[in-house]
Structure 1
């Protein structure tokens, strides 16, 4: 939201109170807080203290390397909920106050309030200023639309801003106005399904604005030297999060708001769906499943979209008996084929559903201010909205899903959750409707995920969710929403995923081939490589199916090639997923996240790192021409063994069965012995590819155990290179192999040491 009219003037009807000078400072060492009262005009005598407001700024720290800031005008306003849950930890905070400055320090991060001269607050780490609140930075604005509190944090020369949720426009936020307001707007507009009031910058810090309601960002737009954020009301709370790298920022941020958990091994395989409005029954679904098997394409999950239920009755959680007369038997038949089952749901109850009257009578649906049930006809006729602020409603909703789990369903696609009314409604627990707009999806997905975790066990719960806000990363997986079947939409889909990755979300997927429209075979085949080199992979469309033989024979070959490639990469992807769980580092990593010191990659939004060592550059053209930015060093194609040296941009041409898939130099890449299933011991028979290892390379590589019933322990391999020889030691009792260039040497189970190099091999 903009408050100014250019640099010198305010917009008509706007008045802003800015901190001008420090009136008083109080440190509370026991509470670990620093409170500053700031006058909003220069005080030259006692008379100047009359009829003038103060702005109160309180600094504290919930965790090491994090500073919380509260900017407040009037403190007497009723506290509104919900609020984001922020998880603190034990932290040693120091405060220092003298005539010149007041400083609060947490870890390497300090906030320094200057008590003399123009208003200035610096956030510093490791001897440098990360960002500052300068004159006219903080402010309380009175406008025709109401009262707002804003902050402006300074940007340095060349500093880039990233994140704020899954946004489909330019990856770098500079120059943009971003409103944190969940909406069902597709992937080609400024609206977003997943809005997160958090950003990270190339300067090595992040900012989390802890407000579930509308947060309006002006990123180097209203003030090109600053990032501004504002909220309605009398106070603003935000957290400055130290780095020094973007990964460090994400680690601290996800420690505050919740880390993504481990997801089941089977979820990494290929998902296939009925598509949305296509006509299907068990015979149709079986033809899809058997068609994949006949073409030697491994399939992990089958998803039933909306019309598994009767029209107008979404959601009644009952199979349409006209098309699925024997759902229990059908699911058992698919389970016998080794498939997991996902079904579509949302949080709306259509008026025709038998559940509507029950939910309305028991108070489980969102109410209007006059006591009635809030309804509209958009999406489902006369639908109501399940009120998850009512614990009984959440339990009731979960009970309907539990019956499906007992029937054989494994997971749920939690669609929608964005179009939440903010006017004329009353929530069961008194939640503020403005705050519930974004927060609703958190309660919705949490209800479903917690049920899955309770019924299926730790590590087996997984969703396919569309909407989210801060903290939603705890309920994976999320997919990119309704895109178009074009190369342009494919690129904007990737930008959304990269942006979400910079917002703390560890796993992400999208509709391969695009959702809307019928993709040209070239679009579908190019998208296959991208989709199957994402953390999660789903074939899904709207009015047309996405089975590969619906396009051409080559599409079948491409699907098979990249599905099997992904399954062979599970030892590597499983290790990358450990970084999600332990550190909040996403599986799919923007260049700036994985290689923050390479300024050439800061703006790149057409490629990414899959895990730490595989550079993926999707091809966005039918002819196969692709520009790829190659960072420093010699990178090796995983597909054909060719090499390319950076840093530089390179143009390549690839067939439909290829794309730039480059292995980072100085990498030990584990490749699994299986490529037809997710359900194998990832460490048994693993081949360690030794790629451009530097002399002196020394690492312990962990190949995680799959969690899909294998029951094996992790395997550790200590890899060292000295001169021309590589020595690997392990305590694993499994078979394993070393590959250097085109040479592969295999070792029997129980072999504890292997060597490869100019001295050949020895045990």
Structure 2
């Protein structure tokens, strides 16, 4: 899906003149009726908009334009303050806020972004990159803008959505509305910058793509070029990006437990029997995700949702069947209306379905969700249709459904238009956003604060606002394990806090799934945001022998012990924007050697995980420099900055605690319903002298340092495992950790 941009016919912006300067907004005249508006949007964040003057008048936005703007930005107004000073020789202006600054230069127009005295990002100028330029500009409808930024020879570029390959996206073309690219709109570099393109129109990202190998070129098919530039380390960039575009709400506790995916074609009674067997085998479980096709759809003659009568003749009885085992139910629908039904004709007449330009509703070919039958798509840009979809799902939840799921990213043709006026790339971008947001509104929208999950695999701008992304379909081999891991780390680099990993695939050949691979995959899932078992005998623990089954029981109990910590990391994401699984480049931007170990990751802030991604018990691990690390298997302390070889049997996994941190563990359980909400923690592991407050759900544990000791409040009644060389003394509600004498 190539861009229509033609560099040979680029209109390059040559000069700008200062018009007005306010603390948060500076307006420039760019000639030919164009404006450049620079906002000090937040500390370390500058917003640059190029377009016609009338396009920046907020009071003239149409209601639809305002609604789209709110879909993309959770915070519309600029909250920073800047000062403006001219550069020498009339070369431009320096806009400074705090320790960051943006210089706007003339002849031609270009920018330089500073963090302190360090230049972190600047415009690229060569025959392939005209700084800022536009092509075929039409004030009413059409324009293509370009912006180019220089890349150093060693600069890596992360983000831009999901990839099963190298997390460094340099050298890769990414097109926003191409479903194969699985794109997201944020790019950043450990060099200290981030770029977010704020639009629902088509964006082509070309970081270091030939022939412009030394530039990151952004091409935007929109009448306005709207860029946010971030200065800071990756953690700061993610923090500001998610504060700007929105952060995830709180998932429910049960979603943190083990999930099971129902086998295709299986009846609820068969799945309930499988759950009974899992309980008998003491294999913990909290949720079942019902298989496709959609569990419900519109009735043929009225806009009411009804359960699939073939599979669920009595839906409330079916839900009760699972709930009696303390298992929650997730099931999917899709916003489609089957062709050749009275309701299709009625909604087509109302204009509530996506329409073809030549008239009439667009008919889509059958999908697994529709049971293979052709359908029309409910126009979720229509306020009444959107409200209908939300309200009908709220009724399902009142009936006992625990989580609605759905993926609605069909390949919408360019000749299809929504009520809001969107078509082509804009509609392909916005439709899955609305479909998933409607499900989340249904399950969590009436709760304060919002709490719930609406799983889905679609990617779109703002996807990080909706906790619980499902993982990709994978092969049942070591490559499949790596595929799942890389997608989680890549979407995490793009701001999404959680991906659920599938432990294998029921639809892929299973011969390559050995007992060793199965346990390594399961253990990797334990030390992740979460995972889902496949509900077929050949991919459940008992299929691999008694030894594997025994190890699986142990690791699944570990999952439940980790729930308070992992949920704490998700709560942390709602404050900081950092994902649960954090890549090495994100976590250690100043250690270039760490970036080469791109399959390792931090799980929250305290644990470094080095997944085993090939057969064998010897594993090489790089422990980042500048810190010490404690082996959870042996208690051994390692200095960072070196590669170590560790031995891991099937009952072990290479996980290391970060010095100065604590790991708060809960009790073993068969499901989260067994947790005592008044006593969610059981014991605390310490990695050296505690310095940081621990990450843990509903955290009330505080650490204070004084005279070489740490004083901690909130550990009453917990077993404490200090590192070697430390001793614990309790004084009422306070715990003192000091050097052993």
Same fold (TM over 0.5): yes
User: 1:224 aligned to 2:213?
Assistant: yes
Give CA-to-partner distance per residue, 1:74-107, whole Å, 9 cap, x none: 9789999544532134322322236342122333
The 5-angstrom pairing of residues 211-290 of structure 1 reads 211-222=199-210, 223-243=212-232, 245-275=233-263, 277=264, 279-290=265-276
> SS at 1:318's partner residue?
strand
Rounded to whole Å, the distance in 1 between the matches of 2:291 and 2:358 is 36
User: 1:689 aligned to 2:685?
Assistant: yes
> SS at 1:549's partner residue?
helix
The 5-angstrom pairing of residues 392-431 of structure 1 reads 392-415=384-407, 417-431=408-422
Q: Give the Å deviation of 1:228.
A: 0.5
Checking the alignment, whether the CA contact within 8 Å between 1:737 and 1:744 is kept in structure 2 is no
User: 1:294 aligned to 2:280?
Assistant: yes
User: 1:339 aligned to 2:312?
Assistant: no
Aligned to 2:586: 593
Aligned to 2:599: 606
User: 1:526 aligned to 2:520?
Assistant: yes
Change beyond 3 A, Cα 1:742–1:288: farther
Rounded to whole Å, the distance in 2 between the matches of 1:316 and 1:748 is 61
Rounded to whole Å, the distance in 2 between the matches of 1:313 and 1:555 is 46
User: 1:390 aligned to 2:382?
Assistant: yes
> SS at 2:36's partner residue?
strand
Q: 2:112 aligns with which of 101, 117, 122?
A: 122
User: 1:680 aligned to 2:667?
Assistant: no
Q: 1:499 aligns with which of 475, 487, 490?
A: 490
> SS at 2:412's partner residue?
coil
Rounded to whole Å, the distance in 2 between the matches of 1:311 and 1:102 is 58
Q: Give the Å deviation of 1:729.
A: 3.6
Give CA-to-partner distance per residue, 1:22-73, whole Å, 9 cap, x none: 25332332772131426xxxxxxxxxxxxxx686433223323211112348
Rounded to whole Å, the distance in 2 between the matches of 1:640 and 1:601 is 23
Checking the alignment, whether the CA contact within 8 Å between 1:684 and 1:736 is kept in structure 2 is no
Q: Give the Å deviation of 1:755.
A: 4.9
User: 1:169 aligned to 2:165?
Assistant: yes
Give CA-to-partner distance per residue, 1:219-240, whole Å, 9 cap, x none: 1113122110001244311110
Rounded to whole Å, the distance in 2 between the matches of 1:248 and 1:700 is 19
The alignment's TM-score, normalised by the length of structure 1, stands at: 0.85
> SS at 2:154's partner residue?
coil
Rounded to whole Å, the distance in 2 between the matches of 1:104 and 1:570 is 46
Rounded to whole Å, the distance in 2 between the matches of 1:573 and 1:619 is 20
Checking the alignment, whether the CA contact within 8 Å between 1:567 and 1:674 is kept in structure 2 is yes
> Structure 2: where are the runs of 5+ without partners?
none
Q: 1:716 aligns with which of 701, 722, 725?
A: 701
The 5-angstrom pairing of residues 338-487 of structure 1 reads 338-351=326-339, 356-357=344-345, 359-379=347-367, 380-415=372-407, 417-454=408-445, 458-487=449-478
Aligned to 2:72: 85
Of 551-560 and 131-140, deviating more is 551-560
Q: 1:667 aligns with which of 658, 661, 676?
A: 661
Give CA-to-partner distance per residue, 1:668-723, whole Å, 9 cap, x none: 22122344443333855532212233xxx544446433xxxxxxxx4324364866
Q: Give the Å deviation of 1:441.
A: 1.5
Q: 2:147 aligns with which of 139, 151, 154?
A: 151
Q: Give the Å deviation of 1:508.
A: 1.5
- Alignment root-mean-square deviation, CA: 3.3
Rounded to whole Å, the distance in 1 between the matches of 2:343 and 2:611 is 45
Change beyond 3 A, Cα 1:317–1:58: same
> SS at 2:322's partner residue?
helix
Change beyond 3 A, Cα 1:744–1:175: same
Checking the alignment, whether the CA contact within 8 Å between 1:177 and 1:219 is kept in structure 2 is yes
Give CA-to-partner distance per residue, 1:456-491, whole Å, 9 cap, x none: 663531111111222121111112222222221321
Aligned to 1:709: none
Change beyond 3 A, Cα 1:263–1:89: farther
Change beyond 3 A, Cα 1:312–1:75: closer
Change beyond 3 A, Cα 1:674–1:548: closer
> SS at 2:457's partner residue?
coil
Q: Which stretches of structure 1, 4 residues or longer, exceed 6 Å deviation after superposition?
A: 1-4, 73-80, 310-316, 742-749
User: 1:34 aligned to 2:27?
Assistant: yes
Checking the alignment, whether the CA contact within 8 Å between 2:610 and 2:655 is kept in structure 1 is yes
Rounded to whole Å, the distance in 2 between the matches of 1:664 and 1:31 is 40
Aligned to 2:122: 132
Change beyond 3 A, Cα 1:553–1:721: farther
Change beyond 3 A, Cα 1:73–1:224: farther
Rounded to whole Å, the distance in 1 between the matches of 2:423 and 2:718 is 58
Rounded to whole Å, the distance in 1 between the matches of 2:16 and 2:722 is 68
Aligned to 1:710: none
> Structure 1: where are the runs of 5+ without partners?
5-9, 39-52, 186-190, 706-713
User: 1:328 aligned to 2:316?
Assistant: yes
> SS at 1:61's partner residue?
strand
User: 1:25 aligned to 2:13?
Assistant: no
Q: Give the Å deviation of 1:584.
A: 0.9
Q: Give the Å deviation of 1:592.
A: 1.6
Checking the alignment, whether the CA contact within 8 Å between 1:109 and 1:242 is kept in structure 2 is yes
The number of residue pairs the alignment matches comes to 708
Change beyond 3 A, Cα 1:745–1:285: farther
Of 103-112 and 677-686, deviating more is 677-686
Q: Give the Å deviation of 1:357.
A: 4.7
The 5-angstrom pairing of residues 183-198 of structure 1 reads 183=179, 185=180, 191-192=181-182, 195-198=183-186
Checking the alignment, whether the CA contact within 8 Å between 2:703 and 2:711 is kept in structure 1 is yes
Give CA-to-partner distance per residue, 1:236-294, whole Å, 9 cap, x none: 11110122x1111111101110011121121111011113x2x3113311122111111
Checking the alignment, whether the CA contact within 8 Å between 1:25 and 1:37 is kept in structure 2 is no
Rounded to whole Å, the distance in 2 between the matches of 1:685 and 1:386 is 46
Checking the alignment, whether the CA contact within 8 Å between 2:24 and 2:41 is kept in structure 1 is no
Aligned to 2:48: 69
Change beyond 3 A, Cα 1:505–1:225: same
Give CA-to-partner distance per residue, 1:517-540, whole Å, 9 cap, x none: 033134333211112221122124
Aligned to 1:740: 722
Rounded to whole Å, the distance in 1 between the matches of 2:697 and 2:473 is 34
> SS at 1:376's partner residue?
coil
Rounded to whole Å, the distance in 2 between the matches of 1:111 and 1:645 is 39
The alignment's TM-score, normalised by the length of structure 2, stands at: 0.87
Aligned to 1:560: 553
Structure number with higher helix proportion: 2
